[in-house]
Amino acid sequence: MAAATGWMPKPATSSGPADGKRTDQKFMMKPLPHVYSASAFGTPDTHLVSTLENGCTLEVAPPRNFDGPGDTWTPEEMLLASVANCLALTFKAIAKAGRLEWQEIHCHSEGVLDKVEHRVKFSRIETTARLVITSEADRNKAEQLLEKTEANCFVSNTLECVKQFHFEITTLD
């Protein structure tokens, strides 16, 4: 699997506050179970449009490896983005609860789609998290919180393929 180096995430748009910060001081998860839904619509001559209940839409097409156009999101990329995003969001919640001072986290997931037991599926997903902390004194705490993040990422925990999680920590001081 290729090393995850030299990449930088692209800025994302958000439907939240303009500065991207939560306005509430304390976050509490609502009691389980949670129910989520999404739908997909398409015609023979168009990309699919995936829609959430809140109206957010996303164009989806097959990847180039399946004769897709390569100009929009694919289900394969959406799965990998779900893993990377869930790990990053899980870390944010755990770091907040653990009172870790940090500057940024970048998560990059790469998956191998292969034939396993007569079915095409992801055989492995490898994720690298790059974390920037404010002080070297917090390195051990950051490592512990990243390990806790891996154990608590529910998207990753749902998947049955081999999962590998690596992290790199750098400091500002």
- The structural domains of the chain, with segments of one domain joined by +, span 74-171
Contact assessment for residue 136 and residue 173, using Cβ atoms and an 8 Å cutoff: yes
Which amino acid, one-letter code, is at 91?
A: F
Tokens 């940024």 map to which residue? 104
pLDDT at position 9 is: 38
Residue 122: partners with Cβ closer than 8 Å, 6 or more residues away: 76, 79, 111, 112, 113, 114, 159, 161
CATH class of 74-171: alpha beta
Say how far apart CA 108 and CA 88 lie, in whole Å: 10
Local confidence pLDDT in tens for the 173 residues of the chain? 333 333 333 333 333 444 455 544 566 789 999 999 999 999 999 999 999 999 999 999 999 999 999 999 999 999 999 999 999 999 999 999 999 999 999 999 999 999 999 999 999 999 999 999 999 999 999 999 999 999 999 999 999 999 999 999 999 87
Name the phi and psi angles at 81, rounded to 5: -65, -35
pLDDT at position 118 is: 97
